[in-house]
Amino acid sequence: MDPPSEDPLASVDFIAEFLPPAIEFGEGFRFDEPFNFGVSGDGISMNATGGSLSYGAYDDDSCSFSVESSVRLRRRCRRRKQRRPNRLYRKESVKLSGWYRNFLRPGMTRDLTHEVSSSDRYGEFRSLFRMPLSKVEELTDIFISRGYIEVPRSLKFREEFRERAELLVMSALYRLGNGQPFRQCRSMCNISVSEIRLFFFDFLAAMVDMKDEYVFLPRNVTELRRMSKYYDEVGLPGCCGSMDVVHVKWSSCPTGDHNRAKGKAGYPTLAFQCITDFNRRVIGIYGPQFGTRNDKEIVKVDPNVYRIRHGWYKDVSWNYYTYDGRVEKERGAYLICDNGYLRWPTSISPYANADCASLQGYFSTNLESIRKDVECTFGILKKRWRVLNNGFYYRDIKTCEKIFVTCCCLNNFMVDLMERSNVRVGRGVPIGDDGIWLDGHTANNSTDTSELALSKQFAKRRSLLAKHLHVFRQKRAML
């Protein structure tokens, strides 16, 4: 069959369906005039207040409305970008940390840590944290009960609050005991470096607040009698402690303080005057002072020494032997020290250049052997808390003071665990009826406080103590 002569789709315009309707420009349309909005019927544009606008001007109200509506629409339709997980700083469970798995996990691990840390002071736990686990638990209980460690608001971390508190205390002890940076603690306790650093300063502030509970002079006659009986047994009746100044290196000393802090050590130091008892407990701290100041200058402004000189300690009486064996009384407690101090009756020092075979030489030897308690205490502090041995790496002098006070408080916190020898020179039986009590003023002491009078009182007291020790040794030999 032959195809049709005419195409049936030829009359259909497919393009017209996709094109916009054509605009017809009539005779009234003028191409030389710009477009305008709000034109009234007579060709004059009007604004919102009814005033006339010139040709080609825009309506401010319509433009502002259109812009705000488009901004609101865009904000409403905008989708928040999905945040990527922060894997570097996310808080992990402390129960997965190395310290918890090796030392604190309940059961056999914790029981074994208790036993080993209490019996072996050279073990791993004691070398890291400088105290047994029982003391760490006791210290953590104190911090929690007094609100120094707050309970977290998150339920997830509230479940492991106790474990987290113990690890924070251990991180502070690790920093003080080993002098290591804070970054080394994060991988071992799963706590961020910033949180460990903040808690370390809170730990120092808390220990300074509790200073009066651990570092204090005898508060009454009973405590003084309990402390003085150890010195009575070694031939120093009436003594209430040993004092000396320790210098700690100031590694981050500011340049402006370098000349004032650089003393005999050859590098900048901070000086602290400490008073210790017979059992190496720190009972008085004064400082810090710059390293250029010597012992004679520091003792003049020490409030602890002032209390012993002018407080109720000056009215305490004690018994001693005379050279012929009679028992007499002397008034006023005193401290033993080296020859770098002032010649006061409250600071008894050994004789200089005395013959060992003489009465004065034996007294000096005995006093120096007893006075080594304060030197041993300084050695214990610097070797147990390496942050003191390595030096202060803080420019703020207040922070350095807090570190030293904290180490002294922790030393007293652990003083019952110290091992010491009872071998002393000149031990013997105590004097009969040698009680210590408060007494009124006697004629043995004058009220003259000049340097010459104090020096005379010092010489008199040191002489009677030397004679007392001579008779004390003979009575010990006759028993």
Tokens of 361: 């030489």
Check if the beta carbon of residue 376 is closer than 8 Å to that of residue 421: no
Q: Please tell me whether residues 182 and 270 are part of one structural domain.
A: no
What pLDDT was estimated at residue 19?
63
Nearest to 393 by CA among 203, 197, 209: 197
Nearest to 91 by CA among 37, 160, 145, 8: 160
Q: What are the strands, taking DSSP E only, across 332-425? A: 334-336, 347-348
What pLDDT was estimated at residue 88?
56
Query: What confidence tens digit (pLDDT) does each residue in 295-350 have?
Result: 999 999 999 999 999 999 999 999 999 888 888 999 999 999 999 999 999 999 99
The answer to the question of residue 267 being in a domain is yes
What pLDDT was estimated at residue 264?
86
| pTM across the whole model | 0.75
What does the alpha-carbon distance between residue 156 and residue 436 come to, in Å, rounded to a whole number? 59
Q: Please tell me whether residues 138 and 169 are part of one structural domain.
A: yes
The answer to the question of residue 36 being in a domain is no
Nearest to 281 by CA among 374, 406, 207, 379: 374
Structural domain total, the chain: 2
Nearest to 99 by CA among 195, 183, 164, 3: 164
pLDDT under 70 in the chain at which residues?
A: 1-80, 83-90, 418-449, 476-479
The answer to the question of residue 129 being in a domain is yes
Q: What are the strands, taking DSSP E only, across 332-392? A: 334-336, 347-348
At which of 160, 177, 209 does a domain end?
209
The answer to the question of residue 474 being in a domain is yes
The answer to the question of residue 104 being in a domain is yes
What does the alpha-carbon distance between residue 127 and residue 141 come to, in Å, rounded to a whole number? 22
Q: Please tell me whether residues 240 and 139 are part of one structural domain.
A: no
Which position has the token pair 């007094």? 146
What pLDDT was estimated at residue 113?
95
At which of 179, 194, 209 does a domain end?
209
Q: Please tell me whether residues 131 and 265 are part of one structural domain.
A: no
Q: Please tell me whether residues 200 and 232 are part of one structural domain.
A: no
Q: Please tell me whether residues 333 and 228 are part of one structural domain.
A: yes
Tokens of 244: 């000396």
What does the alpha-carbon distance between residue 163 and residue 371 come to, in Å, rounded to a whole number? 43
Q: Please tell me whether residues 395 and 315 are part of one structural domain.
A: yes
The answer to the question of residue 57 being in a domain is no
Q: Please tell me whether residues 185 and 327 are part of one structural domain.
A: no
What does the alpha-carbon distance between residue 181 and residue 271 come to, in Å, rounded to a whole number? 24
What does the alpha-carbon distance between residue 372 and residue 423 come to, in Å, rounded to a whole number? 13
Helix segments in 240-330, DSSP class H:
258-261, 295-301, 303-310
Check if the beta carbon of residue 125 is closer than 8 Å to that of residue 136: no
Check if the beta carbon of residue 230 is closer than 8 Å to that of residue 224: no
Query: What confidence tens digit (pLDDT) does each residue in 415-455 have?
Result: 877 655 554 443 333 334 333 333 333 333 344 557 788 88
The answer to the question of residue 46 being in a domain is no
Q: Please tell me whether residues 359 and 226 are part of one structural domain.
A: yes
What pLDDT was estimated at residue 194?
92
Cis bond leading into 85, ω under 30°? no
Q: Please tell me whether residues 144 and 236 are part of one structural domain.
A: no
Check if the beta carbon of residue 429 is closer than 8 Å to that of residue 475: yes
- What is the β-pairing status of strands 334-336 and 347-348? parallel
Q: Please tell me whether residues 347 and 290 are part of one structural domain.
A: yes
At which of 184, 209, 234 does a domain end?
209
What does the alpha-carbon distance between residue 59 and residue 37 come to, in Å, rounded to a whole number? 7
Q: Please tell me whether residues 133 and 222 are part of one structural domain.
A: no
Range of the domain at 281: 214-478
What does the alpha-carbon distance between residue 355 and residue 200 come to, in Å, rounded to a whole number? 52
The answer to the question of residue 76 being in a domain is no
